[in-house]
Amino acid sequence: MNTRDAAVFSLNGFTKGSSGKLEIAASTVPGQYIIPELILGFQKKYKNIVFNLIQLDTKQVIEELLDNSFEIGVVGSIINNEKLKYEKLLEDKMVIITPKNKRIAEIDGNKISMEDLKNENFIFRETGSGTRKEFEKKLIKADIDPKSINVVAQMNSTEAIKQAVSLGLGVSIVSSISAEDYVKFGLINAYELKEFSLNREFYMVYHKSRPMSPITDMFKEYAISYYENH
């Protein structure tokens, strides 16, 4: 059906009056803080496209793509599979967030040490989260056992984690773009780590060989071009 639609699309041309539905599976951070901006820009060009954005964790997004439930996804970590292709959209960094009134020793400017956090209560994302996966990979590279972290709660919502940290339940690791609002309004503090870089990337992911619908393909190209020019 996608191949047929592509042929019709090619014959008719893609115009601003074109209509259709675009479904996207996204992990939490892209779904909340990245894709809405892309939708806004895309709909300014093509006003009759209706979006259906489904938020899952990274592992679930990949499973849905492999199960043919979605044509395209946006995630914050690569889960290697020979059937899938990942294209980088943008770079971000993860930050340690703490309650606003939490005093932790040896804070050096905007950086904090894992040694100073070893006795802190951590709030983590669920196991399939890209943020958690990337953080655990960084810990292992720095010879820190992820199991040594004192995890007091797991949550599948970045907003819930920020709220819990602001209330003093513990500290956490989140993408910097997701922490900006709470930092701006003085609800939490955000720090980089001294020991290692917390840089990460977000990717658009799709099936290598499966024909893609014309509207989805146009959105893919728009998203990649958008971040190439920003």
Model pLDDT for residues 60-90, shown as the tens digit of each residue:
999 999 999 999 999 999 999 999 999 999 9
Q: What is the DSSP letter of 108?
A: B
Rounded to an integer, the average pLDDT of 114-137 is 90
The CATH number of residue 133's host domain is 3.40.190.10
- Confidence bin at 113 (pLDDT 50/70/90): confident
pTM of the predicted model as reported, rounded to 2 decimal places? 0.83
Q: What distances in angstroms separate CA 116 from CA 98, 112, 125, one per listed residue?
A: 12, 7, 21
Question: Do 150 and 213 reside in the same domain of the chain?
Answer: no
Question: Do 178 and 98 reside in the same domain of the chain?
Answer: yes
Question: Do 194 and 98 reside in the same domain of the chain?
Answer: yes
Measured over the CA atoms of residue 155, residue 160, residue 165 and residue 169, the dihedral's sign is negative
Question: Do 192 and 215 reside in the same domain of the chain?
Answer: no
Q: Six-digit token pair at 166?
A: 């602001």
Q: Six-digit token pair at 150?
A: 């004192």
Give the position of tokens 């992990």.
Answer: 27
Summarised one tens digit per residue, pLDDT across range 146-175 is 999 999 999 989 999 999 999 999 999 999
Question: Do 139 and 217 reside in the same domain of the chain?
Answer: no
Question: Do 12 and 49 reside in the same domain of the chain?
Answer: yes
Question: Do 8 and 85 reside in the same domain of the chain?
Answer: yes
Q: Are 14 and 222 in contact (CB under 8 A)?
A: no
User: Is pLDDT above 60 for 176?
Assistant: yes
Question: Do 211 and 187 reside in the same domain of the chain?
Answer: no
- Domains contained in the chain, number: 2
For the chain, what is the mean pLDDT? 89
Question: Do 17 and 81 reside in the same domain of the chain?
Answer: yes
Summarised one tens digit per residue, pLDDT across range 210-223 is 999 999 999 999 99
Domain limits for position 23? 2-90+201-228
Contacts of 194 by beta carbon, 8 Å cutoff, 6+ apart: 108, 111, 112, 113, 114
Q: Which of 58, 96, 92, 59 is nearest to 173 (CA)?
A: 96
